[in-house]
Amino acid sequence: MPNYFALIPAAGYGARMDHQLPKQYLPLAGKPMIYHAIHTLCRSTAISRVFVVLSTEDPEWRKYDWSQFNDKLTVLYHGGATRAESVCNGLAAASTICPDCLISDEDWILVHDAARPLFTQNQLRQLIDEIGDDPVGGLLAVPVADTLKRGDRDARVAQTESRENLWQAQTPQMFRYRMLLNALSGNTHANVTDDASAIEALGLHPKLVHNRDFNFKVTYPQDLELAELIMQKRNHQ
Ligand code: C5P
């Protein structure tokens, strides 16, 4: 039986938040935003270990107490210039830094953005169940709801795009350790904005798992406000 590992790339800055603090550390429900993804993944009995990939110069992580997660959480100061590079470095470092994890080529890696704090145990279970022993792997995703416009350089509509069969990719994205490492090695350009696109570049077709719950990426300041409200509501249910 394969094992399941989680890897959270958290070496980005989040320039679109326009804040001095990297966005993964912005306060949300009384904790740094990254805490919520770590908490969900560490609490899951399906996940053997959670790796967090930080920038080599991250000054923030040590300011918080992470001891409640004990040995389930391993920090890797191996971030790269792009998300794909951070994930690739993290995958390579995980097996050397944690030899007792015994990560095998066929084990599953769930890559989850630090900036998706609304991800829940139910979403995690749905992803793992629906991917099952799929030969490729897959990701949480939502069918596109809005009408899509392609703009020109002057922000005028060049054309309306069909939204038929269009999905918004979310995370976690789950692939086998060796397949993902091979897919990302040498393919860590800024335009590889998720793990699935590296797998697609191999000619493979990841499975889309329809997520019906909130799991948006906190990108702009108003996303943080909305995430705060949703967390408050969930805590009162
Ligand atoms: O910038 P964006 O929101 O797309 O980043 C998605 C995730 O990738 C975030 O958790 C961010 O910290 C991470 N990332 C990274 N290394 C980079 C850029 C982004 O780990 N160089």
CA 85 – ligand 1 centroid, Å: 10
pLDDT of residue 17 exceeding 90: no
Q: Tell me what pLDDT residue 211 has.
A: 98
Q: Tell me what pLDDT residue 18 has.
A: 81
CA 185 – ligand 1 centroid, Å: 17
Q: Tell me what pLDDT residue 222 has.
A: 96
Task: Convert 88-99 to b/e letters by CB count within 10 Å (16 or more is b).
Answer: bbbbebbbeebe
Q: Tell me what pLDDT residue 72 has.
A: 97
What is the rounded average pLDDT of the residues 123-136? 98
SS3 209: strand
Q: Which of 3, 1, 9, 45 is nearest to 195 (CA)?
A: 9
Q: Tell me what pLDDT residue 221 has.
A: 94
CA 21 – ligand 1 centroid, Å: 14
Q: Tell me what pLDDT residue 43 has.
A: 98
pLDDT of residue 13 exceeding 90: no
Domain 4-140+169-235 has CATH 3.40.50.12280: no
* Whole-number Å distance between alpha carbons of 36 and 29: 9
Share of the chain above pLDDT 70, in %: 100
Q: Tell me what pLDDT residue 192 has.
A: 94
190 lines ligand 1 (CB under 6 A): no
pLDDT of residue 127 exceeding 90: yes
* Whole-number Å distance between alpha carbons of 163 and 142: 12
What is the rounded average pLDDT of the residues 54-63? 96
pTM attached to this predicted model: 0.97
CA 170 – ligand 1 centroid, Å: 13
Q: What is the pLDDT of residues 137-159, one digit of tens each?
A: 999 999 999 999 999 999 999 99
What is the rounded average pLDDT of the residues 122-134? 98
Residue nearest to atom 8 of ligand 1 (CA): 83
Question: Which is more confident, 20 or 88?
Answer: 88
What is the rounded average pLDDT of the residues 124-140? 98
Evaluate whether 106 touches 2 at the Cβ level (below 8 Å): yes
116 lines ligand 1 (CB under 6 A): no
Question: What does the domain layout of the chain look like in residue ranges?
Answer: 4-140+169-235
pLDDT of residue 237 exceeding 90: no
